[in-house]
Structure formats: structure tokens, C-alpha cells
DNA sequence: AACGCACCCAACCGCATCTCG
DNA sequence: GCGAGATGCGGTTGGGTGCGT
């Protein structure tokens, strides 16, 4: 067997020896890698180009971070995975010094099991136990370091209720929202494993203004909900959609790019910097989409994926 | 000490997409 | 537009290692 791309050559497979690593590092640092298929030939390696590229990107690259994933990195992986799924290369782009392979392995060996042990489906990030989904407005607290799931039924418009689930891997610090824009509700510790917010305890204004909710956060005792004045006059769904379209048009106009397909890395970086300079809070959008539309409308997944 | 099992992770495989002539 | 080769990506494999019996 062997790679089809290099059937004619005598190809070594398996683990790389230190000598092979030396050859590859020496060649790449001196000459770069304009064409991976020619690298083994010029570097004096009996490997295929594909294997060389993998070895370099996953192990020999000087900018790679070594060691265990930090709690912050783990959180980032969980958050982005919730949005994008198994798009390891995209996730790895948000973790400097980490490779897609590393992220994938970390997910499969650690995070996946952790989520399952916490009663979460690692694919959907929803509760594995269906019974919990029938409780209205509840916050599950699985264990001391873990996942919190806030689920509730909210009025999307006059005709429809939307069932939502928002997951927190840790309890975030409450943001410093202005008092006029925030609502607070308490939840009770029912047991060590469950925290509930009963519907009765939810302030009326929270339900009435649900279409204006833009983010939530909580600590051990409270849930904080903020709303954005920009969304005051539109429904929640319309507001999000309009904001996304507006920002995309603005950015594309600025860059002279009407097509949302961004094909090369340079343009990708420019786009990212555009997002960073934009006033629009994509983090906020992300948190909203996580809670509201992740299983509701796949078009929004695409919208979000485009931002990454 | 020997064995079996589970886990981790580097590397491979195959498919999709891109690039270039 | 087409085809071949190059590259990128996600899923899978299998060797090394640690741990329990």
C-alpha cells in the first residue's frame, strides 16, 4: 500500500526518526515548502510529500505550542465545536500553536468523555437525558466544574414557541450591564445536581422583552439578561438576520468583495481584521445563536461559519 | 514478572477542493 | 472547460505506554 501520490517511490511509513526530522527541519527552514511533493526528494527523505507536510504541520513547526491544553483552550474548543461541529481545522485556527490533529485528538480522548459523563451529547451539546428537556426554564448544574444548561421555552413570535438550550461550561462572571437594560432572576439550589429557575420567579419583563435579549450570563446565584436597544423595534430573528446582512454588506463593500467566498489566506486575515474592527459584536451574536438557532435554522450556522 | 486491557496520539487513508497548464 | 496533480481536511488506525490484576 502507500499513498497514491507516491506509488512509484520507495516510501517509508510509520513513525519518524530524529534523523528524518532533522533533514526535514533543515530543508524547510532553508528552502521553505513551495511544493510538498518535491520536499522529500530535495530533503533526502524516503517519505511522500503528504507525510512530510503532516510531520511539519503537526509536529516540527517552530510555532507549535507544547503540553496539555489549558482550561481556557478547552473552553474555546467546546464553544466553537458547539457552533461548527467537527471542523477541527477551523477550531484550531482559534488556538494559536495548536493543530487540527491535536484538537481532534484532545476532543476524542478527553472532552468527549467529559461531556458524556456530564450527561451531554458531545455532538449536539444538549442533554442526553430527554426528561430534562421537558422542564421549563431550568438550569442544570452537573457538578462543580462543569456544564450548566439553561433551557426554556420562549415566544419567538405570536404563534410559535421556541425551545432553547444554552450551555455554559463554566459559570461566567456577570457582565457589567447598565441597570436599565438588565434583568435579574434568582435560582434555587434544589440539590447538589440541579438548579432550577421556576417560571414564576422569572420577571414578567423578561418574557415580554424576550425578543430583545442579546446575551445572558450568570454566577452562582443569578442569571443576568441584557438586551440591545438596536433590536428593540424588530423581532429577535429579524434583528439578528438584519445585523448579519448589514455587517456583511458593509465589510464586503469596504473590501470590494461582493462574493462571500474568501479563498486565500491573505484575504481571510483581512476579513478577520475587518470583523475585529467592526462595531458589531460577533461574540454576542455567537452567544445568541448558540442558544437560539443552533438547532432551529441551519442557515444561521452557515452565517456563523462564514464569520470564522 | 507476565499478561491483558484501555488509553493516547502520531500517522495514515480517502475524499473534497484547489491550482495550474 | 477539462484533467491531472497538489493540497487540505476529517475519520480512522495501530503502536507505544501505563495501569490493574
Name the residue closest to the C1' of B6 by its CA. A109
Share of chain A above pLDDT 70, in %: 38
- Mean of the pLDDT values across residues A29-34? 86
Q: Which residues contact A277 (CB under 8 A, 6 or more apart)?
A: none
Q: Which residues contact A43 (CB under 8 A, 6 or more apart)?
A: A23, A24, A26, A27, A28, A52
From CA A191, how far away is CA A141, in angstroms rounded?
Answer: 9
**What pLDDT was estimated at residue A129?**
57
Surface-to-core class of residue A1, CB atoms within 10 Å of its CB (0-12 exposed, 13-18 middle, 19+ buried): exposed
Q: Is the CB atom of residue A259 positioned under 7 angstroms from any atom of strand B?
A: no
**pLDDT at residue A82 is higher than 70:** yes
List helix spans (H) across chain A: 18-31, 39-43, 49-55, 71-84, 88-92, 100-106, 112-117, 204-208, 236-255, 265-277, 282-292, 298-307
Please name the helix (run of DSSP H) or strand (run of DSSP E) that holds residue A151, with its range, or none: strand A148-155
Write down the CATH number for the domain with range A4-60.
1.10.10.60
Q: Is the CB atom of residue A98 positioned under 7 angstroms from any atom of strand B?
A: no
Reduced 3-state DSSP string for A50-65: HHHHHHHHHHHCCCCC
3-state helix, strand, coil in chain A (%, to 5): 50, 15, 35
Report how far apart, in Å, the C-alpha atoms of A41 and of each of A14, A33, A57, A119 are. Answer: 18, 12, 18, 51
Confidence at A106, pLDDT banded by 50, 70, 90: very high
Per-residue pLDDT tens digits for A89-105:
999 999 999 999 999 99
The integer distance in angstroms from the CA atom of A5 to the C1' atom of B5 is 37
Q: Which residues contact A195 (CB under 8 A, 6 or more apart)?
A: A138, A139, A140, A141, A148, A187, A188, A189
Name the residue closest to the C1' of C8 by its CA. A89
In contact, A271 and A252? CB cutoff 8 Å: no
Confidence at A21, pLDDT banded by 50, 70, 90: very high
The integer distance in angstroms from the CA atom of A127 to the C1' atom of C3 is 48
Decide whether A4-60 matches A71-117 in CATH topology. yes
From CA A197, how far away is CA A140, in angstroms rounded?
Answer: 10
- Mean of the pLDDT values across residues A124-148? 44
Q: C-alpha cell of A1?
A: 500500500
**pLDDT at residue A10 is higher than 90:** no
Q: Is the CB atom of residue A265 positioned under 7 angstroms from any atom of strand B?
A: no
**What pLDDT was estimated at residue A116?**
82
Per-residue pLDDT tens digits for A279-298:
333 443 443 344 333 333 33
Residues 37-96 of A with CB under 7 A from strand C: 37, 49-50, 53, 86-90
**pLDDT at residue A47 is higher than 50:** yes
Phi-psi region of A271 (alpha: psi -120 to 50; beta: other; left: phi over 0): alpha
Q: What are phi and psi of A10, to 5 degrees?
A: -80, 110
The domain spans of chain A are 4-60, 71-117, 131-231, 236-307
Report how far apart, in Å, the C-alpha atoms of A188 and of each of A118, A195, A291 are. Answer: 20, 6, 22
Write down the CATH number for the domain with range A71-117.
1.10.10.60
**pLDDT at residue A228 is higher than 70:** no
- Mean of the pLDDT values across residues A21-29? 91
From CA A88, how far away is CA A307, in angstroms rounded?
Answer: 16
**What pLDDT was estimated at residue A53?**
92
**What pLDDT was estimated at residue A13?**
85
Q: Which nucleotide is nearest to A58 (CA to C1')?
A: B10
Strand partners, A155: A161
The integer distance in angstroms from the CA atom of A110 to the C1' atom of B8 is 10
Per-residue pLDDT tens digits for A194-205:
222 322 233 323
**What pLDDT was estimated at residue A55?**
93
Name the residue closest to the C1' of B9 by its CA. A105
Q: What angle do CA A255, A271, A239 make, to 5 degrees?
A: 90
User: Which 8-state DSSP code applies to residue A17?
Assistant: P
Kindly report the length of chain A: 308
Amino acid at each position: 500500500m502507500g499513498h497514491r501520490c507516491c506509488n512509484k517511490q520507495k516510501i517509508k511509513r510509520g513513525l519518524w526518526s530524529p534523523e528524518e526530522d532533522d533533514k526535514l527541519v533543515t530543508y524547510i527552514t532553508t528552502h521553505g515548502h513551495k511544493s510538498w511533493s518535491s520536499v522529500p526528494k530535495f530533503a533526502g527523505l524516503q517519505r511522500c510529500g503528504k507525510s512530510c507536510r503532516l510531520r511539519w504541520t503537526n509536529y516540527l513547526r517552530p510555532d507549535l505550542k507544547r503540553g496539555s491544553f489549558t482550561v481556557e483552550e478547552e473552553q474555546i474548543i467546546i464553544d466553537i465545536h458547539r457552533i461548527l461541529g467537527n471542523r477541527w481545522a477551523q477550531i484550531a485556527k482559534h488556538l494559536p500553536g495548536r493543530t487540527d490533529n491535536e484538537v481532534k485528538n484532545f476532543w476524542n480522548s478527553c472532552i468527549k468523555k467529559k461531556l458524556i459523563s456530564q450527561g451531554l451529547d458531545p455532538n449536539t451539546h444538549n442533554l442526553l437525558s430527554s426528561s430534562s428537556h421537558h422542564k421549563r426554564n431550568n438550569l442544570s448544574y452537573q457538578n462543580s466544574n462543569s456544564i450548566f444548561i439553561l433551557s426554556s421555552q420562549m415566544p419567538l413570535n405570536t404563534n410559535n414557541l421556541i425551545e432553547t438550550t444554552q450551555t455554559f461550561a463554566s459559570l461566567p462572571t456577570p457582565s457589567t450591564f447598565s441597570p436599565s437594560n438588565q434583568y435579574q432572576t434568582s435560582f434555587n439550589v434544589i440539590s447538589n445536581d440541579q438548579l432550577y429557575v421556576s417560571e414564576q420567579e422569572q420577571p414578567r419583563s423578561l418574557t415580554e422583552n424576550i425578543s430583545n435579549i442579546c446575551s445572558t450570563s450568570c454566577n452562582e446565584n443569578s442569571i443576568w439578561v441584557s438586551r440591545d436597544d438596536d433590536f428593540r423595534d424588530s423581532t429577535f430573528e429579524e434583528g439578528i438576520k438584519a445585523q448579519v446582512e448589514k455587517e456583511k454588506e458593509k465589510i464586503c463593500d469596504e473590501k470590494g468583495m461582493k462574493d462571500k467566498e474568501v479563498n486565500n489566506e491573505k484575504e481571510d486575515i483581512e476579513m478577520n481584521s475587518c470583523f475585529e474592527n467592526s462595531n458589531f459584536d460577533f461574540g454576542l451574536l455567537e452567544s445568541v445563536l448558540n442558544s437560539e438557532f443552533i438547532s432551529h435554522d441551519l442557515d444561521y450556522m452557515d452565517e456563523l461559519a462564514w464569520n470564522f
